[in-house]
Amino acid sequence: MKLNWNELTKGIFKENPVFIIVLGLCPVLGVSTQVSNAIGMSAGVLFVLLFSNLLISALRNFIPASIHIPAYIVIIASLVTITEMVMHAFVPAVYSALGVYLPLIVVNCIILGRAEAFAARNTVIDSILDAIGMSIGFALGLTLIAVIRELLGNGTITLFAMGGFDGVIRVPWFYNNPMRVMSLAPGALLLMGYLKAFFDWKGARKKEA
Amino acid sequence: MTKNIRYALILLAICGVAVFFLALTNSITAPVIEEMDHQNRLKALEAVSGGFEIGEQEVVDGQPYVTYRIDLSEGGNAAGWILGLKSAGYGGEMTLVASYTPDGVMQYAQLLGHSETPGLGKKAEESWYMEKFKNTGGQQPVPTSKAMLSADDAQAISGSSVTFTAIARAIAGGSDYVKSLGGAQ
Amino acid sequence: MSYIAILLTFIFINNFILVQFLGLCPFIGVSKSSANAIGMGASVTFVTTVASVVTWAIYYFLLVPMHLEYLQTLTFILVIASLVQLLEMVIQKISPALYQALGIYLPLITTNCAVLGIAIINITNTYNVMESFTAGFAAGAGFTLAIVLMSNIREKLDLMPVRRAYRGMPIAFISAGLMALSFMAFDKSLLTNLHLV
């Protein structure tokens, strides 16, 4: 059997959900104050997207077209709730940091969008590859924004505590000269604008070349 | 008509399976979560008790900040109170526990739960934060505004003055409540 | 918390779009003309207000007595989806004129983070039914305020010489960022200073 690798890679660059299609922005801007939150959010989205694509493509001949939206919503909401409960029990710090943005994965346009545009009319294998690619693309976008915001806004990079390491990397110079506004709401919007301009510019240059 | 019934049955089947899996996950995670909350509370009470014996919890009604009280004792003599406090922070409610001497001087405090902006209000979770309130409430008033802090301390809480005010008010409210209990009991 | 405090909190201090980023997709997508922005804002306000009360009732009268709090997300999104459908039908029957104006926005609202967001925030903040109603209305009003201001800015921006890479979405984000900067003037200490908390 030949895997269609294009389904995997397109989500990472060509159709990156964050910068190119600009989907699911609420969590991207909301939780990107800390790198650890961004990683937790990406893990949640990966889990939900993977299983929703898998289930929906497996059930695509079983679910009639006229009731597909409510059926998808039930499947996605259940997966999100499972993610919520598991995170609450086993990674409480991430759970409380993500707050309202965790249940809001339900209405994240990426998940329903991929279900409708891809999983509903492709095989299970392709849908899984699509989900993984899109999740990686989402994770890269979210983590990039989080790294820039946390570095400039707080001078730190927060990962997960392990052993003697408390999980917080304090970056010299930046730590003593934080630009607080980057951690706050306006910084997220401004940064998103500049990054989107950069990716649009790169896209346009590629087309001309 | 039969088509509609078939659709309804399919939706119902999906819902049924979904609820089953949710119930299953819940039955696994709920005890873990409950145990964790219980442990966190015990640890917080232990940390603020200052080594005194922890008594029974009593619910307190009709107070703006105080939700429950626990008496502290040493060898049968009253040594103070632990109060459960709540206050409105930047994003919803914050809960904390704090211990007081019988005449209302704050000893130790710890944050239990909050939904403050990560990176800003989060400072309140670090231990040095609560130190700023230690031994206040008696002779020395609880610092409820930045102006009442030293310049260094005010700088340290910059960006989270709302969280600071919320915690300070709760601690001051608790102190007043302890004083209203009349000290000796 | 007094009702005025809730209004101020959700319209200015925790503005759904500019501070919490809830409902950002329609904010960027539908803010190109001010007529559309007003239509979208009115629809969202209507739905957040009704959904706040309905989800509150379902949570406290159905889920809590049956110890099914963990079904919160699932029930809320289903209730919101059905509610939006129902509203669409009712408005179509009662007022075709209103339907003409709001019709095209209603289907978009189900997946608007703002609606599910306010339903969940009402529960986390343990609001009572009147407070939920106020919060729902205020969240919608804050959304409308932001999207209408934004559409006015974008109508002006269309006439300005903007560098090509910044045209469209990037400049919209940057304008939104500058708006958010000015909304930072509304701080929770406003409530403290007005003695509302």
Q: In what order do the strands lie in the sheet with B106-113?
A: B53-59, B66-74, B77-88, B93-100, B106-113
Do residue B22 and residue C121 have CB atoms under 8 angstroms apart?
A: no
Using the predicted structure, report yes or no on whether residue C73 has a pLDDT greater than 70: yes
For residue A8, the model assigns a pLDDT of 77
Strands, E assignment, chain A = 156-158, 168-170
pLDDT digits (tens, 9 = 90+) for B174-183: 888 887 776 5
Is residue A119 a contact partner of residue A50, using CB atoms and an 8 Å limit? no
Range 61-100 of B in CB contact (< 8 A) with C = 88-93
For residue C120, the surrounding DSSP H or E stretch is helix C113-124
Do residue C120 and residue A81 have CB atoms under 8 angstroms apart?
A: no
**A-chain residues within 8 Å CB-CB of B15?**
74
Do residue C197 and residue B161 have CB atoms under 8 angstroms apart?
A: no
Stronger pLDDT, A203 or C154, i.e. the higher one: C154
Using the predicted structure, report yes or no on whether residue A47 has a pLDDT greater than 90: yes
Instruction: Determine how many CB atoms are found less than 10 A away from the CB of residue B147.
Output: 7
Please report the sign of the dihedral spanned by the C-alpha atoms of residue C144, residue C150, residue C153, residue C154: negative
Q: Is B39 on the interface with A (CB under 8 A)?
A: no
Q: At what angle do helices A68-90 and A109-117 cross, to 10 degrees?
A: 140
For residue A71, the model assigns a pLDDT of 87
pLDDT interval class at B154 (50, 70, 90): low
Q: Which chain A residue has the Cα nearest residue C168?
A: A197
From the list A23, A190, A197, the residue facing C166 with the nearest CB is A197
Q: How many residues does chain C have?
A: 197
A2-27 exposure pattern, b = at least 16 Cβ within 10 A, e = fewer: eeeeebbebbbeebbbbbbebbbbbb
Using the predicted structure, report yes or no on whether residue B136 has a pLDDT greater than 70: yes
**C-chain residues within 8 Å CB-CB of A109?**
25, 111
**B-chain residues within 8 Å CB-CB of A81?**
22, 25
From the list C112, C124, C177, the residue facing A186 with the nearest CB is C177
Among A19, A34, A21, A30, which Cα is nearest to A193's? Answer: A19
Cα A163 vs. chain centroid, distance in angstroms? 28
Stronger pLDDT, A206 or C191, i.e. the higher one: A206
Do residue B92 and residue C71 have CB atoms under 8 angstroms apart?
A: no
Q: Which chain B residue has the Cα nearest residue C124?
A: B92
Give the separation between CA A126 and CA A128, rounded to whole angstroms. 5
Q: Is C71 on the interface with B (CB under 8 A)?
A: yes
* Token output for C2: 């007094």
pLDDT digits (tens, 9 = 90+) for A60-72: 888 888 888 888 8
Range 7-36 of C in CB contact (< 8 A) with B = 14
Task: Determine which of A135-144, A168-177, B147-156, C102-111 has the lowest per-residue pLDDT on average.
Answer: B147-156
Stronger pLDDT, A82 or C31, i.e. the higher one: A82
For residue C145, the model assigns a pLDDT of 93
Using the predicted structure, report yes or no on whether residue B56 has a pLDDT greater than 60: yes
Q: Mean pLDDT score of chain B, rounded to an integer?
A: 75
For residue A190, the model assigns a pLDDT of 92
For A21, A97, A189, B153, C49, the CA distances from A141, given in Å and listed in that order, are 12, 19, 14, 37, 34
pLDDT interval class at B185 (50, 70, 90): very low
Three-class DSSP labels, B16-46? HHHHHHHHHHHHHHHHHHHHHHHHHHHHHHH
Do residue B18 and residue A67 have CB atoms under 8 angstroms apart?
A: no
What is the 8-class DSSP label of residue B61? -
Using the predicted structure, report yes or no on whether residue A79 has a pLDDT greater than 80: yes
Chains within contact range of chain C (3+ C-beta pairs < 8 Å): A, B
Using the predicted structure, report yes or no on whether residue B118 has a pLDDT greater than 50: no
* Token output for C48: 């957040």
Is residue C197 a contact partner of residue C191, using CB atoms and an 8 Å limit? yes
Top residue of A82, A94, A182 to mutate, by most chain B CBs within 10 Å, is A82
Chains within contact range of chain A (3+ C-beta pairs < 8 Å): B, C
pLDDT interval class at A194 (50, 70, 90): very high
Q: Is A106 on the interface with C (CB under 8 A)?
A: yes
Q: Are strands A168-170 and A156-158 parallel, antiparallel or unpaired?
A: antiparallel
For residue A164, the model assigns a pLDDT of 66
What average pLDDT score do residues B27-51 get? 82
Using the predicted structure, report yes or no on whether residue C194 has a pLDDT greater than 80: no
Using the predicted structure, report yes or no on whether residue B119 has a pLDDT greater than 50: no
For residue C32, the model assigns a pLDDT of 79
Stronger pLDDT, B128 or C20, i.e. the higher one: C20
Is residue B144 a contact partner of residue B56, using CB atoms and an 8 Å limit? no
* Token output for B177: 């409540």
pLDDT interval class at C6 (50, 70, 90): confident
Stronger pLDDT, C52 or B60, i.e. the higher one: C52
For residue B184, the model assigns a pLDDT of 46
Q: Is C159 on the interface with B (CB under 8 A)?
A: no
From the list B19, B22, B161, the residue facing C189 with the nearest CB is B161
pLDDT digits (tens, 9 = 90+) for A161-192: 776 677 778 888 888 888 888 888 889 999 99
The residue assigned the tokens 């392709």 is A126
ipTM of the complex: 0.84
Task: Determine which of B118-132, C15-29, C120-134, C162-176 has the lowest per-residue pLDDT on average.
Answer: B118-132
For residue B121, the model assigns a pLDDT of 45
Among C135, C138, C141, C133, which Cα is nearest to C53's? Answer: C133
**C-chain residues within 8 Å CB-CB of A78?**
74
Q: Any long-range contacts for B68-75 (C-beta under 8 Å, 24+ apart)? A: B69/B177, B70/B45, B71/B185, B72/B99
Do residue A103 and residue C72 have CB atoms under 8 angstroms apart?
A: yes
Q: Is A183 on the interface with C (CB under 8 A)?
A: no
What residues contact residue A20 under an 8 Å CB cut-off, 6+ apart?
Answer: A14, A199, A203
Do residue C73 and residue A103 have CB atoms under 8 angstroms apart?
A: yes
* Ramachandran angles phi, psi of B122, nearest 5°: -55, -30
Among A209, A26, A200, which Cα is nearest to A108's? Answer: A26
**B-chain residues within 8 Å CB-CB of C197?**
88
Do residue A67 and residue B91 have CB atoms under 8 angstroms apart?
A: no
Q: Which chain C residue has the Cα nearest residue A105?
A: C113
Task: Determine which of A96-110, A156-170, C87-101 has the lowest per-residue pLDDT on average.
Answer: A156-170
Chains within contact range of chain B (3+ C-beta pairs < 8 Å): A, C
Q: Which chain B residue has the Cα nearest residue A101?
A: B115
B:C CB pairs within 8 Å: 26
What is the 8-class DSSP label of residue A176? T
Do residue B36 and residue A89 have CB atoms under 8 angstroms apart?
A: yes
